Chains A and B, each alone.
Chain A
Amino acid sequence: MLRATWRSLIARRMRLLMSTFAIVLGVAFVAGSLVFTDTLDRAFTGIVSGTVGDVMVRPQGAQASTRAGTTATVPVSLVARVKQVPGVRDAVGEARSPTVYVLDKRGKPLGGQGAPGFAMGYHTLPAAHGIPALTLTAGRPPTRAGEVTIDPATAGAAAYRIGDTVSLLTAGTPPRITARIVGFAKFGQGSLVGATLTTFDPATAQRLFVGNSRGYQDIWVTAQPGVSDTELRSRIAAVLPRGVQADTGDAVAKESGGQIKQALGFITTFLLIFAGISLLVGGFLIVNTFSMLVAQRSRELALLRALGARRGQVTRSVLAEALVVGLVGSTVGLGLGFLLAIGIRALFARFGLDLSGTPLVFRARTVLAAYGIGMVVTAIAAYLPARRASSIPPVAALRDDIALPERAVWRRWHLGMILLGGAAGALIKASIRPVQHSTYVLAVGMIAALFAVILISPVVARPVLRAAGVPYRWIFGAVGRLAEENSLRNPRRTAATASALMIGMTLVSMMTVFGASAKSSVDALIADNFTGDYVVSSQTGIPFSPSLADSMAKVPGVQEVSRLRYSPAQIGTDKDALAGIEPRTFGDIVKIELVAGRMPAVKGHTLLVQDDVAAQRRLGVGSKVPVSLGGRPATFTVIGIFKKSPAILVRYLTSLEGYAAAGGRPQDTFVYVIQRGGADPAAVERRLQQIVAPVPTVTVKNQQEFAAQQHEQIDTLLRIIYALLGLAVIIAVLGIVNTLALSVIERTREIGLLRAVGLSRRQLRRMVRLEAVVVSLLGAVLGVALGVALGYALQRSQRDQGITVLAVPWTQLGLYVVLAALVGVLAAWLPARRAARLDVLRAIATE
C-alpha cells in the first residue's frame, strides 16, 4: 500500500511537473521579452543621451533620426551668434551622417545588417548634463582631409591599427573613400549597439555630409555651470532667425529614443504574441491535468464531502494545489526568461544589434508580470476542474468514473457554433473588403474561430476518431479497435489534448499558407508590374551614392536608368513618406495607372497622390499640400492621382527636382536599369556588377534574383515564426504524454486483464501508440483545416498590401499531418513503456 501511494505520488509529481512546464515556457517568454525590451531601452537611452549637447539648434521640423537625412541646414554664421548668448560655454556646428560604413581589410562592411554607420566631425564638447561625449582612447584627433578615427570596438573586430588605411562607404560622391586611421574614439557612454563611429576633421565632415561650407546640420551647445538647459534653450531661441529652432538635449534624445523604441517595439509585440500562445496551450495542459487529477481523486474528494467538507472547501483545496504549480512555474519561468533574454540578445547581435555592452535590466515590473501572469493563468485553468470537483456528490465515493454530462458537451457545441458563425462573419467581412480597423476585425475573428473550434472539438472529435478507427481496425485488428475505443472513451479529454496541438498546427498552417501566398504574390507582382531588367538596391534600403547610377547610364547596352529616392516625410498633417522618381522613365519600369493627370506634368513642386489617400484627405488635382523632409515645408501642388497598386507602396510621388526641393538629399534608394533590345545581357550585367563592386552594400539583381531575394526574406521570417511556434507544439506534445500516462494509470486493471487474456507487451505498446497517433492526427487535421481557412482569410484581407495570389502548399500541409502522427508515436513512448512494464497480477489486483 505504501508502495502504491509512493508510486501514485511520483506519477502525480511528473504530471504536475509537465503542466508546470507549460507555465514555465509561457512565463519565460513574457519575462524574456520584457527583460530584453528594458535592456534595449537602456542601451539606446545611453547612446542617445551621449550624442546630444545641453541644447541643440536645428532647422525647423528636423526629425532626429531620419536616416536619409535632409538638405536643410542652419547657417554657419549662427554658431558665432549662439556663442554670444549669455550662459553658453561653447557651441560647435555639426555635420553628421548615419550611413558611413567602415570596410574591413577584405572589403566587407563592418557592423551588422541594418545597424547605422555614424560619422561626424570631431569635437570635444561634452554631452548633455556633462556626460563625456566623444572620447579619444588612442592616437590623436583627425585634423585634415584623409584622416579619421574609428571606434575601438570596430577597430578590434577588423584588427585595424593606428596608421592603417581604411576604406569607407558613403552615400555621397564618391561612394567609396579611403583615409588613414589616426586614432580611436568612442562615445563616452555605453556601447554603440553594433553601429560603427567614424570621425573626420570638421571641414571634411561638412564637405561630405552637408555638401557645402555654408551650413551645418545642427549646432551643439554646452551650457555654463549653473545654467539650466531649459533656461538656456529659451535664451538661444530668442536670437534665432526664422526656420531654426532650439531644443534641449533631453527633448531631442527623447524624440530619437522614442523613434528607435517604436521601430524596435515590434520585437516585444512579436515575443509577447508567442508568450500568449504558449500560455494558451499551457492553459489547456493545466485544465486537462487538473481535470484528470480531480477525476482520479473523486473518491477522496467525495469522502471529504461525505465527512462534511463544504463545496467551497473542496474548490479551494484544488485551487491551492494549482496555485502552488503556478508559483513554482512562474519562478522557474522567470529564471528561464532571463536566459531567454540572453539568447535573444545573442540572436540580435548576429543581426548587428550588439547589446553586449549593456547589462540585462531586471525591473520589478518584469517580476510582477511573470508571477501575475503565471498565477492567474494557472488559477483560471484550474478553476473549472476545481468547480467540477466540488460538484462531486458525496455518494460518488463509490463510483468509478466522473464523466462530464453529455448536456455540457452539447452546450459547448452550441456556444462554439455561435462563436464560429460570428468568427466566420468577421473573417469574411475582413477579407471581402478592407473595413475600418480591419486588422482588429481579422485578429478577433481568428481568435474567435480558434476558440470556436476548441469548443466544438469534443463533438467533432467523435466522427474524426471513428473515421481513423476504420483503417485502424483494418490494419491492426483488435489492437486498433482497442486504441480507437480508448480515444473515444472520454471525447472531451481527447479533444482537449488534441486542441493544444491544434492551436500550434493552426498557426503553423496559417503561416505556411500565407508565406506561400506571399511568395507567389511577389513572383506575380514582379512578373506583371515590373518591366525593368535590373534592380540596384542596398540591404535594408539604406540610400546610396548617385554616382553609381551615373556610371550605369554610360554602360553600352543600357537604354534607361531610372532612380527612385525615398524618405519619411511630413505631408500635410500626416507623417508619411515621399518618393522622388523620374517621370519620363518611371512608367517604363513599373506599371502605374493614372486616374487623373499625366506623367510628364510631374516636375518641380508637384505631387502624384494615390487614389485612396486622395479620397481620404479630400485631395484633387490643384490641391496645395505642404511637404517637408525635415526642414521648412515647401508647398506642392497635386497634379495627378494614381490607382492604388501593390507595385507602388508609396502614396505620394514627385519628381527628383521636387524631392530635392522638399529637402531630400541627392541619394538613391533604388535604381532600375532597362537594357537595350539586342544588347548582350551577360555583358551588361558584368559591367553593372563592376560598377557596384567597390560598394559592397549595394547589389545589382535581375528579375529572378530580385524575386529570390524577396523569397529569402519571407523564408527567414517564416523560419523564425516556425521556431517560436515549435515551442507551442512541444507543450502540446507534453500534454499528450501527460494524458496518456494518466490514462495508463487509470486503466491499470484493464491493462492487466488484457495482458491476462493474451495481449503481448508489444501489442500493448502498440495500442498506446495508436491512441497517441489518433489524438495527434485529430489535432493536426483540425489544425491544418482551420489553418488553411485562416490563411485564406489572411491572404484575402492583405491583397491590397500586395498578397494578391492564394497559394496552398498541400504537400507541405500533408507533411505536417504525417509529422504530427510521428509526434504521437514519440509522445507515446514513455506511457507505452510504463504500460508494458505493469505486472499482470498486480495490475489485475489494483483497486
Chain B
Amino acid sequence: MSHQVAARAEHLVKAYGAGAAAVRALDDVTVEFYAGEFTAIMGPSGSGKSTLMHCMAALDQPTEGRILLGDTELGRLNDNRLTALRRDQIGFVFQSFNLVPTLTAQENILLPLSIAGRSPDPEWFDTVIDTVDLRPRLKHRPSELSGGQQQRVACARALVSKPEIVFADEPTGNLDSTSGAEVLGFLRRSVDDFGQTIVMVTHDPVAASYTDRVIFLTDGQVRDELRSPTAESVLSRMTALDPRRARS
C-alpha cells in the first residue's frame, strides 16, 4: 500500500470560548490521511471527530496548528480560495440534507462542476452513475428518491469531480442497515477500483469495518489507531477507550 499523504493535520487545536470556560474540542491533534485509503474517524460524542473532519474539509478554521491538503496549507487561503478548494478538490457526503431539493439527481451530481463552470468527463460520469446504480433515477428530484438513493446521489456528487479527498460525515447515520450497506459498499468500491481517498466520521463499528484504517479520538486527542478493522475489533477497542459505551 502506497503511503503517500493526501491530507495532514499538525498540532491542531480547536478551542471554543475563553478562560476557565474554554473547551478544547481538538487538543493538539496530529494525524495523516493516506492517498487511496478509506479511513474512519471514530469516537464518542464530543470526542472532536466531527470538528476534526470539518477543519480538514476547510469548513471550519482551527485555533492553532496547520492543515495540509496535498501541498496546500489551508490556513493561508482566503474564503474564495477555500471555496474553490472545496469545490474542486474535496467531495462531501453529509449525514442528511445532502441534496438541493429543486434540482434533479443528475443536476445535483453535477452541481460542483457546473458551479465551477466545467463540463463533466462523460466516461467518468457514466462509470460513477453505473457504480451507484442510479441511471433510471437521474431525472428524479430528491423528494422522489428513498433515503438510500439520496445518499448514493450524494456519493456520486462527491466523486464525479475527481476530488483529492472525500469527507463523509456519518453517511449512513440516517439509513436502515440494507441501504447503509449499499452506500458503504459503494464507498469501498470507489477506493478499491478508482483509488479514491475517503475519510469518514462514524460511530458505527459495522461501518468502520468497511475501512482500511480507524483512528480513535477521545477528548480531542488521538488515542489509538487500528488497521484492517473488523466490527468486533473496533467494538472492543472502543469499549476499552470508553467504558461507558460498553454498558449501553
Contacts and interface: CB of A to CB of B under 8 A. Distances in A.
Interface of A: 477-479, 481-482, 485-486, 488-489, 749-750, 753-763, 840-841, 844
Given A478-B115, A840-B59, A844-B94, A757 B103 contact: no
Contact of B115 (A750, A758, A840): A758
Interface string B80-99: 10011011100010100111
A754 B92 contact: no
Given A485-B103, A844-B94, A760 B117 contact: no
Chain A to chain B: the 7 pairs with minimum beta-carbon distance, closest first = A758-B87, A485-B102, A478-B114, A760-B83, A478-B115, A758-B86, A758-B112
A754 B117 CA distance: 15
Contacts of B88: 758
A291 to B, nearest CB: 19
A757 B101 contact: no
A758 B116 contact: yes
A749 to B, nearest CB: 5
B150 to A, nearest CB: 12
Interface in B30-57: 54
Contact of B84 (A485, A749, A758): A758
B186 to A, nearest CB: 18
A485 B79 CA distance: 26
B54, B94, B100 interface centre (most CB from chain A within 10 Å): B100
Contacts of B83: 755, 758-761
Contact of A761 (B80, B86, B92): B80
A757 B115 contact: yes
A482, A755, A756 interface centre (most CB from chain B within 10 Å): A756
A200 B212 CA distance: 114
A75 B111 CA distance: 97
A749 B97 contact: yes
B54, B83, B87, B111 interface centre (most CB from chain A within 10 Å): B83
5 contacts: A489-B102, A754-B111, A757-B157, A759-B83, A760-B83
Interface residues of B, number: 27
A753 B115 CA distance: 13
Interface string B107-127: 100011011110000000000
Contacts of B94: 753, 756, 844
B60 interface: yes
Given A478-B115, A841-B59, A844-B97, A756 B92 contact: yes
Contacts of A758: 83-84, 86-88, 112, 115-116
Contact of A753 (B54, B80, B100): B100
A750 B79 contact: no
Contacts of B98: 753
B102 A841 contact: no
A477, A479, A762, A844 interface centre (most CB from chain B within 10 Å): A844
Nearest to A840: B59
Given A488-B102, A489-B102, A759-B115, 9 more contacts: A482-B103, A485-B100, A485-B102, A485-B103, A753-B100, A756-B92, A756-B94, A759-B87, A761-B83
Nearest to B81: A760
B51 to A, nearest CB: 10
Given A749-B97, A761-B80, A841-B54, A756 B117 contact: no
Contacts of B111: 478, 754, 757
A760 B103 contact: no
Nearest to B104: A485
B95 to A, nearest CB: 10
A757 B112 contact: yes
A481 B157 contact: no
B195 to A, nearest CB: 22
Contacts of A486: 102
A208 to B, nearest CB: 81
Interface string B17-30: 00000000000000
Contacts of B80: 760-762
Nearest to A400: B101
A9 B111 CA distance: 33
Nearest to A487: B102
Contact of A481 (B60, B79, B114): B114
A753 B97 contact: yes
B248 to A, nearest CB: 25
Interface in B147-174: 157
A485 B99 CA distance: 14
Contact of B79 (A489, A761, A844): A761
A763 B88 CA distance: 15
A757 B86 contact: yes
Contacts of A478: 111, 114-115, 117
Nearest to B114: A478
Nearest to B116: A758
Contacts of A749: 97
A479 B107 CA distance: 12
A754 B97 contact: no
B59, B60, B80, B103 interface centre (most CB from chain A within 10 Å): B59
Contact of A482 (B79, B84, B100): B100
Contacts of A485: 100, 102-103
Contacts of A489: 101-102
Contacts of B102: 482, 485-486, 488-489
A159 B100 CA distance: 75
Contacts of B59: 756, 840-841, 844
Contacts of B84: 758, 760
A244 to B, nearest CB: 84
A481 B101 contact: no
Contacts of B116: 758
Contacts of B117: 477-478
Nearest to A489: B102
Given A756-B59, A758-B88, A844-B94, A750 B114 contact: no
B107 A481 contact: yes
A763 B115 contact: yes
A30 B94 CA distance: 55
A340 B112 CA distance: 53
Given A477-B114, A844-B94, A756 B86 contact: yes
Contacts of A762: 80
A489 B92 CA distance: 25
Contacts of A479: 115
Contacts of B101: 489, 750
A484 to B, nearest CB: 9
A311 B80 CA distance: 50
Nearest to B97: A749
A542 to B, nearest CB: 66
A763 B84 CA distance: 12
A485 B108 CA distance: 13
B225 to A, nearest CB: 26
